[in-house]
Homo-oligomer: A and B are copies of this chain.
């Protein structure tokens, strides 16, 4: 190993200590920190973010990356370190352009906006959140001006979450979905069955926690390399492949929420736990492509979790842990978890109308960054789009524009990832069935861990080293298309709703 590479690795090791505690501070603020303790954590978060930023944009870092990128050093690197140097050089050049003060303000505002959002959602009062949303938007635009000069802001944001993706491509994919799904959902709703009241009773949160444990073990979440917490909005984070954490929220009158969040976040976590451990604590050892990440969480949640055969081997155990399920036949459960309905809350939506929730948010974000719609007008625009796509109007902001934490965190451009993930899933399902056989049979026979092993090998192992387009091309042999997802929806729901296709 060259002396320079050694020096570089030492430097990264120190920086990693700061990043490690940043992850931990974030985790703790969301899961354990009492209200009055948030302030101390925000202070520490600000301090260490600033340190990491300083280290990641230092002259020393710049010099090391410049030298390592030259053939004399670069050609001798392993493939892994070639990736790390290239990626870090790109990010260095990008971050170097951000003024330190701006970055500090951004991180501080992010934490404040997160706290205010919780409060505003509780009080269902968008006006409390609006000034912080405005700040996050302004800061996002300002940051993008530095990170991606000359690139249209929203395209820059999309590309930050899903490298190689732009609004022209997404427009094409989403328009195809709209074209087929809008009439198809109308056909479904024409055959709508009455809502099942069995799922509105009381489901003990302690029992829900146990069901979550069962599901996580079942799909292959490893407890020796992972743990679970409780938060307002479920999420997954990772220190490295050996320590991956997820959270959930348990609603007394909505057991399906925590059940499907568990499987969804479990999918994210299984991805991170199964990345090549050689990449641990480097930029290769995580997956930053949000669409590709969502493809895994949504594969578990929807493609597998909403398949009747997923439940066959474990449905009895559900009744043992949550006795109310004893009264519900599996067929009723299956109908309920695939009950298509125009509803308000994205995370509770069925997988078909979910597409519209994302398309709505995608169009909201284009309105914010491209059409400069004022923040004060956003609730109205939100509600209008809810009418256009779902023919319903939220009763209040908590049920509408305040439901998601993403914007409080500055995550503009993230939402489309969810639907890109489903689009990839349609393609992955086709390939999986070609290679492993019929998915219904696999699930029926309790072979879900074979599926997990296939995904580990085909997708997870590579972490950041393969971009989404390349990953899908490598696994499926095709360019990205919404056709397999549309076909999956039509086949599945025409059977459930007895529709001729």
Query: Interface on A for B, CB 8 Å cutoff?
Result: 14, 17, 20-21, 24-25, 27-28, 31-37, 39-41, 43-44, 47-48, 206, 223-227, 229, 239-240, 242-243, 245, 281
| A interface, over-half SS | helix
B34 adjacent to A223 (CB under 8 Å): yes
Please name the 6 residue pairs, one residue from A and one from B, whose CB atoms are nearest each other, closest first.
A37-B243, A36-B242, A206-B206, A21-B21, A35-B224, A17-B47
Alpha-carbon distance between A243 and B28 when the two chains are bound, in angstroms:
12
Q: How far is A462 from B243 in the complex, measured between Cα atoms in Å? A: 40
Contact of A33 among B36, B43, B47, B227 (CB under 8 A): B227
User: Assuming A28-B24, A40-B239, A44-B17, is B224 touching A34 (CB within 8 A)?
Assistant: yes
B residues less than 8 Å from A48 (CB atoms) = 17, 21
Query: In the complex, which of the residues B44, B226, B281 contacts A20, with contact meaning CB atoms closer than 8 Å?
Result: B44
Asked whether, in the complex, the Cβ of A40 is within 8 Å of the Cβ of B242, the reply is yes
- Sample of 25 A–B contacts (CB below 8 Å): A14-B47, A17-B47, A17-B48, A20-B40, A20-B43, A21-B25, A21-B48, A24-B24, A31-B32, A33-B227, A34-B223, A34-B224, A34-B225, A34-B226, A34-B227, A34-B242, A34-B243, A35-B225, A37-B239, A37-B240, A39-B242, A40-B239, A40-B243, A40-B281, A41-B243
Q: How far is the CA of A40 from the CA of B19 in the complex (A)?
A: 12
Question: Chain B nearest CB: distance from A320 CB in Å?
Answer: 15
Q: Is the CB of B206 within 8 A of A33?
A: no
User: B36 touching A17 by the CB < 8 A rule?
Assistant: no
Closest beta carbon of chain B to A252's beta carbon, Å: 14
Bound Cα distance from A32 to B29, whole angstroms: 13
Chain B residues with Cβ below 8 Å from A40 are: 20, 239-240, 242-243, 281
**Contact (Cβ within 8 A) A243 B36:** yes
- A40 CA to B17 CA in the complex, in Å? 9
Which of B17, B36, B47, B240 is close to A224, meaning CB atoms less than 8 Å apart? B36
**Which B residues touch A32, using CB under 8 A?**
27, 31-32, 227, 229, 245
A380 CA to B267 CA in the complex, in Å? 51
Complex formed: what's the CA distance from A32 to B24 in Å? 10
Inside 8 A of A206's CB, which chain B residues have their CB? 206
Residues in B whose Cβ lies below 8 Å from that of A24: 21, 24-25, 28, 44
| Chain B residue with Cβ nearest A206 | B206
| Contacts A24-B24, A25-B24, A28-B24 given; does A17 touch B43 at CB 8 Å | yes
Residues on B with beta carbons closer than 8 Å to the beta carbon of A31: 32
Measured between alpha carbons, how far is A43 from B240 in the docked complex, in Å?
13
Contacts of A35 in B (CB 8 A): 224-225
A227 neighbours in B (Cβ, 8 Å): 32-34, 37
Smallest Cβ distance from A258 to chain B, in angstroms?
A: 15
Instruction: State A33–B245 Cα separation when bound (angstroms).
Output: 9
- Within the assembled complex, what's the spacing in Å between the Cα atoms of A44 and B20? 7
Count chain B CB atoms within 10 A of each CB in A14, A36, A226 and give the residue with the most. Answer: A36
Complex Cα spacing A28 to B237, Å: 14
A314 and B211 alpha carbons, distance in the complex (Å) = 32
Q: A14-B47, A21-B24, A31-B32 given; name 13 further pairs at CB < 8 Å.
A: A17-B47, A20-B43, A21-B25, A21-B48, A27-B32, A32-B229, A34-B223, A34-B227, A34-B242, A36-B224, A37-B243, A40-B240, A40-B242
Cα of A48 to Cα of B17 in the assembled complex, Å: 8
Q: Would A21 and B44 be within 8 Å (CB), given that A39-B242, A206-B206, A242-B39 are in contact?
A: yes
Q: Once the chains bind, are B245 and A36 in contact (CB under 8 Å)?
A: no
**A349 and B337 alpha carbons, distance in the complex (Å):** 51
User: Hey, which chain B residues are within 8 Å of A14, CB to CB?
Assistant: 47
Per the bound structure, the CA–CA distance linking A225 and B38 in Å amounts to 9
Name which of A20, A27, A31 has the most chain B CB atoms within 10 A of its CB: A20
**Bound Cα distance from A39 to B223, whole angstroms:** 15
Neighbouring B residues of A245 by C-beta, 8 Å: 32
